[in-house]
Structure 1
């Protein structure tokens, strides 16, 4: 399929006309779109502020877990 597109065509790139083979234009657009897709789909790194906030949230959640286990034995018997 690509070998059928070997004839040259005129492409206007940045307002300048260029005569290149269609296969070269298709290949360059395909490769650049693939690389752009990889860059866009990468997971973002957490900033230092976001890391500190998540550590604070972990500390708060850990503290809350300890507080919920303050039932007396009588209360546990009553609930169950």
Structure 2
């Protein structure tokens, strides 16, 4: 197994143990309304899930201007290949 896979399994196991230990109910003050008794397991789990989603969104690769320019160059190169004569294609290959 790769080190990255072992690291992910280890962190997931530790996070699961942490969530199971903290399952008692405590009062949380949400922005609107009265304090509510909620399990810490639910609150921490929701926060972790939101963190994973935000991390995924922030970590995914973006399409930059340079990659867009490279796609245009590749498309133009493919068009130029199709305009070559048969003799030119034979000479190149």
Superposition TM-score, scaled by structure 2 size: 0.45
Gaps of 5+ in 1: 59-80
Tell me the equivalent position of 2:22.
Answer: 5
Which of 11, 27, 35 lines up with 2:53 in the alignment? 35
Distance, in Å, in 1 between the alignment partners of 2:29 and 2:63 is: 38
2:41 equivalent to 1:23: yes
Aligned pairs (5 A) from 1:60-71: none
Alignment RMSD, CA only? 2.6
Tell me the equivalent position of 2:88.
Answer: none
Query: Does the CA contact (< 8 Å) of 2:19 and 2:45 recur in 1?
Result: no
Shift of 1:23: 0.6
Kindly tell me the number of residue pairs found equivalent between the two proteins: 53
Distance, in Å, in 1 between the alignment partners of 2:61 and 2:19 is: 33
Gaps of 5+ in 2: 1-17, 74-93
Max Rg structure: 1
Superposition TM-score, scaled by structure 1 size: 0.50
